[in-house]
Amino acid sequence: MAAGKGTRMKSQTPKVLHLLAGRALLRHVVDTAAALSARRVVVITGHGASQVESAIGQFALAHAGAQFQCVRQEPQLGTGHAVQQAVPVLPDDGVVVVLSGDVPLTRIETLEALIAACEGSKLALLTITMQDPTGYGRIVRDGGEVRAIVEHKDATPAQRAIGEVYSGIMAVPARLLKPWLARLDNQNAQGEYYLTDVVKFAVADGVPVVGHTIDDAVQVAGVNSPLQLAQLERAYQLRVAEQLMNDGVRLADPARLDVRGELHCAQDVAIDVNCIFEGQVSLGQGVTIGANCVIANAQIAAGAVIHPFTHIDGGKDPVQVGEGALVGPFARLRPGARLGEQVHIGNFVEVKNSTLAKGAKANHLAYVGDASLGERVNYGAGSITANYDGVNKHKTVIGDDVQIGSNCVLIAPVTIGAGGTVGGGSTITKDTAPGVLTVARAKQLSLSSWKRPEKKS
């Protein structure tokens, strides 16, 4: 169900498309459904339908095994009315699991247990007991048997005292659900078609209703406001941090870590405070990440040290950092940056679409773009590759053991032969032979006859 308005988000973006851990709320739910090997994922859209539907088109690309379908609910007349819209596309021989697009953190094992409790023949409800159940549908039991769900607004004072509530998640065979949906009415306090009324039909029809109760409120928590979104984000991040620490990662502070994607760590990885990991990141054995790094789509090999305030973003062309490399502080590695073993990249150095072979160094204030640097190259402070002529990008090739002095401009396409040296301040426009010193700058002049202008009094 993803048709609701989400008024309290006070946003142009449909609520279910707001991001948690870098993924839309609805994406979390869809990923969970796919992880359950759902045959069909039916998304009920309404508010912001076209935006939500195009997002679903994107999400579906990641799940080739499942069949995705959107059905519109216009207007929105309640949760029962929402599920009614899906009836034509639900196979009769299936079990329907009802999820909410704004409840992102339900665990797969919880839903597997719920589906198991349904046994293909019962109505299974996911329930939880709350200190303050205000607003939720209460689970009314009689001698332990579930008899009904009564919405807060319809509940008697005695029913309001019940702490066990319906989570909004159920598993039910489609062949039972469909006729129950057809029997719903809106004779209640909110004038809505309540999905929860199916419970009383099940009871009337003699179909067993089972409550599967959990005690982890995060799994059924919905997002209605920016505050709740931030609270769930923290809950999610703490889950991730605990998992990493259980796997042996040393986090300086589990409350100051954000993983918006997948972070894979080998043994003896240490991560300082305020680091953000996005997309797919892997950290090899003994990697150290300094404080305040942002690292997206990168493979960092064993023993590498990423110093504080480094920004790495591999985008669609993951960054590779070789074994024992040193990066930062204040370095920037962009898509296609490939650093070999023992490479050093220092402060205010930017590397894009370039390969640096073993032992190459660019330690200060430099730009390396569309280039390949051979082994042991020393790339001087303030030097840049002029890789762009305004239309096309060109390549710079620097052979093994080259020394590029400080403040050089290498105008691509250009090749610096192995073992060569480029004098500081040179602007290089032509290829250079191996082993030679090349200087391309105005000759130094000293004029003894020159006089400084003097102020007239």
**Which spans of this chain sit near ligand UD1 (rule: CB under 6 A)?**
1, 3-4, 44, 46, 73, 76-79, 81-82, 100-102, 136-137, 149, 151, 165-168, 194-196, 222
Closest distance of CB 135 from ligand UD1, Å = 6
> What string of DSSP letters covers 362-410?
EEEEEEEESEEE-TT-EE-TT-EEE-B-SS-B--EEE-TT-EE-TT-EE
Cα–Cα distance for residue pair 383/440, rounded to 1 Å: 14
The DSSP secondary-structure symbol of 46 reads B
- Enclosing H/E stretch for 81: helix 79-86
Locus of tokens 């759902």: 38
In the complex with ligand UD1, the residue whose CB is nearer, 103 or 305, is 103
Amino acid at position 415, single letter: T
Beta bridge partners of 150: 138
In the complex with ligand UD1, the residue whose CB is nearer, 1 or 296, is 1
For the chain, the C-alpha Rg in angstroms (whole number) is 31
Cα–Cα distance for residue pair 374/123, rounded to 1 Å: 66
Cα–Cα distance for residue pair 334/450, rounded to 1 Å: 48
Closest distance of CB 137 from ligand UD1, Å = 2
Closest distance of CB 63 from ligand UD1, Å = 20
Amino acid at position 1, single letter: M
User: Which residue, among 195, 125, 200, has the nearest Cα to 164 in the 3D structure?
Assistant: 125
In the complex with ligand UD1, the residue whose CB is nearer, 71 or 345, is 71
In the complex with ligand UD1, the residue whose CB is nearer, 30 or 357, is 30
Annotated catalytic sites, by residue? 364
Asked if 417 contacts 399 with a C-beta cutoff of 8 angstroms, the reply is yes
In the complex with ligand UD1, the residue whose CB is nearer, 219 or 396, is 219
Tokens of 438: 């090349």
Closest distance of CB 175 from ligand UD1, Å = 21
Closest distance of CB 340 from ligand UD1, Å = 50
In the complex with ligand UD1, the residue whose CB is nearer, 212 or 344, is 212
Closest distance of CB 36 from ligand UD1, Å = 18
Locus of tokens 């042991």: 376
